[in-house]
C-alpha cells in the first residue's frame, strides 16, 4: 500500500493511499472510503448505502442527496450504476471535498459538492426534492468512526421533508443496536400527520460480516429483497469482478413495531 497524498490540518491527519487499483481515504487512521474503477462494489460500507436504491422502480432514481461525502465512493457508485440527473454531496470537511475531486474523480457534470454543515444545510434547504437521501454523518473518536448525532424523530422528519413521496431514506448507523434504538423515533416521525404519514412502512437493515456498521433503509414503497438481488445480479453481469464481494451483504426486514 502506497501513500500518494497526505496533509495535516490542526490535529487531523489525512492520507490517500493506493492498494492495487483501489484508492483509499484515511483520516486520523480511520478508513473512510475506497474506490476502484474496475470493482465499483467492493464489500465496503458504501455498498450498503447504494444497494437500497435497487428497491426503487427502474429509472426512478434521478436526484440523490448525500450527507457526508468522505472520499465520494458512494457518489461514484450512483453515477456508475444509475441514470442520475443530479447528485448533491454536502460535506463539512473541505479537504474531503478536495480529495473527492482530485483522487476519487468526482468531476462529473451531474455532481454538485457543497462545503457546509449538513445538519444546518438540511434545516435551511428549500429546493427540489430528492428520490434518495443518504445520511452518512460520521467523525472519528479514539481511532474509531462514530456518528455525529443521534437519529431523533425531529431529524427523521427533517430528512423526510427532502424526499419525494415515494423516495428512500438511507442512514448509516454504528451498529445494529443503534439502528434498533432509532426505531421509536422513526415510528413517531411517520405517525405525525402534519408531516405526511407514509402509506407504506417498509424498512430493512443491511450489514456486512467484516464491518460493525448497520445501514437502515426506510422505504416509501413495498419491496422484497429478491427484487434488490435480481437487479444486483444484472449489475454483476456487467461487472463480474464484483461478484464475490458484492454478494456478501446481509439484509433483513425491520418489523413495523
Give the CATH number, domain containing residue 65.
3.40.50.150
196 within domain boundaries: yes
Q: For residue 201, what pLDDT is reported?
A: 77
- Nine cell digits for residue 250: 446481509
**What is the mean pLDDT of each successive set of 10 residues along the chain, which is 257 residues long?**
95 96 94 94 96 95 97 98 98 97 97 98 98 96 92 97 95 97 93 58 94 96 91 95 92 84
With cell 448525532, the residue in question is: 149
84 within domain boundaries: yes
Q: For residue 222, what pLDDT is reported?
A: 85
Q: For residue 209, what pLDDT is reported?
A: 94
10 within domain boundaries: no
15 within domain boundaries: no
Range of the domain at 79: 40-254
Q: For residue 27, what pLDDT is reported?
A: 94
Total domains in the fold of the chain: 1
Q: For 113, phi and psi rounded to 5 degrees?
A: -110, 130
Q: Please state at what angle helix 153-160 crosses helix 183-191, rounded to 10 degrees.
A: 50
DSSP 30: E
pLDDT in tens, 177-211: 999 999 999 999 988 654 445 556 799 999 999 99
Q: For residue 257, what pLDDT is reported?
A: 61
Q: Is the dihedral of CA 128, 110, 64, 61 positive or negative?
A: positive
132 within domain boundaries: yes
Residue 202 has a CB neighbour count (10 Å cut-off) of 18
Report the C-alpha gap between 173 and 233 in whole angstroms: 26
139 within domain boundaries: yes
Name which of 31, 5, 24, 40 is nearest 210 in CA terms.
31
126 within domain boundaries: yes
- Nine cell digits for residue 209: 460480516
234 within domain boundaries: yes
The torsion defined by the Cα of 185, 190, 191 and 195, in degrees rounded to 10, comes to 120
Amino acid at each position: 500500500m502506497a501513500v500518494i497524498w497526505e496533509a495535516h490540518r490542526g490535529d487531523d491527519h489525512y492520507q490517500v493511499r493506493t492498494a492495487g487499483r483501489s484508492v483509499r481515504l484515511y483520516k486520523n487512521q480511520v478508513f473512510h472510503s475506497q474506490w476502484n474503477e474496475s470493482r465499483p462494489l467492493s464489500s465496503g460500507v458504501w455498498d450498503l448505502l447504494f444497494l437500497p436504491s435497487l428497491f426503487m422502480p427502474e429509472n426512478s432514481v434521478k436526484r440523490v442527496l448525500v450527507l457526508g461525502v468522505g472520499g465520494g465512493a458512494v457518489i461514484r457508485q450512483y453515477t456508475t450504476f444509475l441514470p442520475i440527473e443530479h447528485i448533491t454531496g454536502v460535506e463539512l470537511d473541505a479537504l474531503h471535498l478536495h480529495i473527492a475531486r482530485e483522487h476519487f474523480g468526482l468531476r462529473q457534470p451531474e455532481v454538485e459538492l457543497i462545503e457546509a454543515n449538513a445538519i444546518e444545510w438540511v434545516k435551511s434547504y428549500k429546493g427540489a426534492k430528492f428520490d434518495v437521501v443518504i445520511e452518512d454523518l460520521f467523525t472519528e473518536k479514539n481511532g474509531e468512526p462514530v456518528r455525529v448525532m443521534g437519529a431523533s424523530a425531529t431529524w427523521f422528519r427533517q430528512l423526510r421533508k427532502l424526499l419525494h413521496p415515494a423516495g428512500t431514506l438511507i442512514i448509516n448507523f454504528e451498529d445494529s443496536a443503534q439502528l434498533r434504538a432509532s426505531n421509536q423515533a422513526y415510528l413517531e416521525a411517520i405517525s405525525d400527520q402534519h408531516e405526511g404519514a407514509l402509506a407504506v412502512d417498509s424498512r430493512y437493515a443491511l450489514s456486512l460480516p467484516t464491518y460493525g456498521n448497520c445501514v437502515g433503509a426506510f422505504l416509501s414503497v413495498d419491496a422484497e429483497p429478491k427484487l434488490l438481488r435480481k437487479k444486483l445480479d444484472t449489475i454483476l453481469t456487467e461487472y463480474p469482478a464484483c461478484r464475490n464481494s458484492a454478494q456478501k451483504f446481509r439484509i433483513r426486514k425491520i418489523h413495523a413495531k
